[in-house]
Homo-oligomer: A and B are copies of this chain.
C-alpha cells in the first residue's frame, strides 16, 4: 500500500513537470493554460509572469485566458486552487495508511519530503502567497473548503488520539500546533534550501542527505510526541 501511495504521488508530480506531456492533444486548453501558469507564477510570482508569456508558452490564444478564467487575477487564483487541490490529494492519499500511530507519522514525514522534492513549483507558490500576505488565498478560501481547511488536521487528530489511547503519545499534544510543527520540519528543507545549504554547509539536494534529513525529522517528531 505504501508503494501505491508513493507511485500515485510521483505520477502526479511527473505529469506537472514533464514538458512533453502538456502538448498532447488530449489535455484540454484550460488544463494546459493552468499547468503553464502554475509553472510561470511559481517562478516569478503574480507580478513576475505576464498573460502574454503564459499564452505563448501554452501555445494558446490570449482570448482563452479571458474565456476560461476572466482575468490574470482569476487565472492566478485558479492556480492557487490547483495547488491546494494537490496538497489536499496528497493528504488524502495518506489516509489509508495503517499500522501503529508512530509508524504512520514516520510515513507521513517520508512522503511529505518526497512530495516537496518532486513539486518545487508548489513550494514556491506557497512562498509567494505568503510574501503577498495571503491576499489571493483569502479570496479563494471563501468559496473552497479545500483551501480554508487542511484535510490533514482531522486525520492527524485521529492518529494522535489513537496514540494517546494506547498510552504511546503524550496527552498534552495540540493537534494544530503539531501539524504546524510537522509542516515546518518538512517544508523548511525545501523552502529555504538555498540559504540553509550555505549556513550548515550541506548539499541538501543530494538524495542521501535528503533521506537522512527525513529520517532525522521523523525521529525527532516520534520521540517528541511519545509518552
**How many copies of this kind of chain does the complex include?**
2
Chain B residues with Cβ under 8 A from A225's Cβ? Answer: 220, 223
**Given A150-B199, A185-B184, A220-B220, is A130 in contact with B212 using a C-beta cutoff of 8 Å?**
no
Enumerate 29 A-B pairs (CB-CB under 8 Å) in ascending A order.
Answer: A47-B48, A127-B127, A127-B191, A130-B194, A134-B197, A137-B194, A137-B198, A148-B198, A150-B199, A153-B199, A172-B219, A174-B212, A176-B201, A177-B213, A179-B199, A179-B200, A180-B196, A180-B200, A180-B213, A181-B217, A181-B220, A183-B188, A183-B196, A184-B189, A184-B217, A191-B191, A222-B224, A223-B225, A224-B224
Report the interface size class on chain A: 35 or more
Asked if A178 is at the interface of the complex by the 8 Å CB criterion, the answer is yes
Asked if A226 is at the interface of the complex by the 8 Å CB criterion, the answer is yes
Q: What is the 8 Å Cβ interface bit string for chain A, positions 99-123, against chain B (1 contact, 0 not)?
A: 0000000000000000000000000
Chain B residues with Cβ under 8 A from A192's Cβ? Answer: 126, 130, 183, 187, 191
Contacting B at CB under 8 A, from A115-165, are: 124, 126-131, 133-134, 137-138, 141, 147-150, 153
